[in-house]
């Protein structure tokens, strides 16, 4: 590791320091691979068998890693939350129940805030899994399972600031979360339900009915309407099309802005035409209960910007590419 002094404060010095940090942290993470043994299996089995929740606990930099681990577990099918060790000593330990499993993070294994919790945890019968760097530390010795996250040195030139050690903790936590995910058979659909605000969630959860224009927003005329009336309806509703409905509310046809241009180019007099004479019969449609992403594919395939939505043999609405973009499906 190059030393930090005034001679390194140049572009080249910053880059070399950055590379040294990355090499050190990468080496710390790579060293974990050979440590995934029976203890890792036991930790995962205890977590899979947890009938309550996984409680991740820590303070300081380890606490920040714990926040991330709890969030990753919760979003991948393992109910979890983060408990700050200092707050736990002042009442928050009441969040725990005997069926819970705690994952405690402390590189030294000597964090007083964590150690103060151990008697209470033991009395409740809460299982304890420790991620720490010292096998002979009080936390490791008190745990049911100790996972070794020790590092040869920190990436900090002073070998003080938690850097490589927090990277190792983060990687070990991710290894646990993904091992549990795979064992639970956690699927894309499960992930989407945990991430309704994310792009994948929107693609897998939103249906056409959720994003379509419906009711008074839908441009509709009867087959006996004049083309002038149909064009007026297109202009009022602003979807670039008008649906033609029969007396039962079923879709009889479709007329679009593009059709209007073609009608004019053909020399036809729009003032004398009925919409049924120039509409597209049996247009492409989509069901209201289909996934919205299916509508995207259909619009792209046929190079169109809107689709009539049908349900129960009647017109239900219109789904447009603009609405799908606005909903984040595309």
Pick the CATH number of 6-186 from 3.10.20.740, 3.40.50.970, 3.40.50.10490, 3.90.1150.10: 3.40.50.10490
Name the least confident of 115-124, 196-205, 274-283, 303-312: 196-205
pLDDT bracket for residue 6 (50, 70, 90): very low
The pLDDT score that the predictor gives to residue 5 is 46
Q: Which of 141, 143, 99, 156 lies closest to 124, judged by CA?
A: 99
DSSP of 236-262: HH-SSEEEEE-TTS-EEEEEEHHHHHH
Per-residue pLDDT at 8 exceeds 60: no
CA distance 45 to 144: 12
CA distance 45 to 183: 10
DSSP code at position 263: H
Q: Where are the beta strands (DSSP E) in 10-77?
A: 54-58
The pLDDT score that the predictor gives to residue 235 is 93
Per-residue pLDDT at 182 exceeds 80: yes
> For 174-184, what is the mean pLDDT?
92
Strand ordering across the sheet containing 241-245: 220-221, 241-245, 251-256, 280-281
Q: How far is CA 2 from the centre of its chain?
A: 39
Query: Do 6-186 and 208-326 have matching folds?
Result: no
The pLDDT score that the predictor gives to residue 239 is 92
The pLDDT score that the predictor gives to residue 187 is 65
The pLDDT score that the predictor gives to residue 3 is 46
The pLDDT score that the predictor gives to residue 201 is 56
Quote the percentage of the chain above a pLDDT of 70.
91
Per-residue pLDDT at 198 exceeds 80: no
Quote the percentage of the chain above a pLDDT of 90.
70
Cβ neighbours around 73 below 10 Å, total: 25
Q: Does 162 or 206 have the greater pLDDT score?
A: 162
Reported as a single tens digit per residue, the pLDDT across 69-89 is: 999 998 888 899 999 999 998
CATH class of 208-326: alpha beta
The pLDDT score that the predictor gives to residue 186 is 74
Name the least confident of 115-129, 223-237, 316-330: 316-330
For the chain, report the end-to-end CA distance as a whole number of angstroms: 46
| Domain ranges across the chain | 6-186, 208-326
Cβ neighbours around 280 below 10 Å, total: 13
């Amino acid at each position: 590791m190059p030393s930090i002094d005034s001679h390194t404060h140049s572009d080249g010095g910053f880059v070399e320091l950055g590379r040294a940090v990355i090499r050190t942290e990468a080496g710390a993470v790579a060293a974990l691979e050979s440590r995934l043994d029976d203890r890792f299996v036991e930790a995962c089995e205890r977590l899979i068998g947890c009938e309550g929740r996984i409680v991740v606990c820590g303070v300081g930099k380890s606490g920040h890693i714990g926040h991330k681990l709890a969030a990753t577990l919760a979003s991948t099918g393992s109910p979890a939350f983060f408990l700050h060790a200092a707050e736990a000593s002042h009442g928050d330990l009441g969040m725990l129940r005997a069926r819970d499993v705690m994952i405690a993070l402390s590189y030294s294994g000597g964090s007083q805030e964590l150690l103060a919790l151990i008697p209470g945890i033991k009395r409740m019968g809460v299982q304890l899994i420790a991620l720490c760097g010292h096998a002979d530390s009080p936390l490791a010795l008190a745990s049911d399972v100790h996972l070794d996250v020790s590092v040869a040195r920190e990436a900090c030139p002073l070998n003080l600031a938690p850097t490589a050690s927090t990277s190792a903790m983060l990687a070990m936590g991710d290894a646990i979360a993904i091992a549990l995910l795979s064992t639970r058979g956690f699927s894309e659909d499960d992930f989407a339900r945990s991430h309704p605000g994310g792009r994948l969630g929107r693609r897998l959860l939103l249906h056409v009915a959720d994003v379509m224009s419906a009711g008074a927003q839908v441009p509709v005329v009867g087959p006996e309407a004049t083309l002038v009336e149909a064009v007026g309806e297109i202009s009022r509703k602003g979807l670039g099309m008008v649906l033609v409905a029969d007396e039962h509310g079923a879709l009889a046809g479709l007329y679009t802005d593009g059709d209007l241009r073609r009608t004019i180019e053909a020399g036809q007099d729009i003032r004398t035409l009925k919409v049924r004479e120039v509409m597209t019969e049996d247009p492409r449609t989509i069901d209201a209960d289909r996934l919205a992403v299916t509508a995207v594919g259909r619009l792209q395939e046929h190079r169109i910007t809107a689709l009539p939505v049908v349900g129960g043999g009647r017109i239900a609405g219109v789904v447009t590419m603009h609405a799908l973009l606005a909903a984040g499906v595309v």
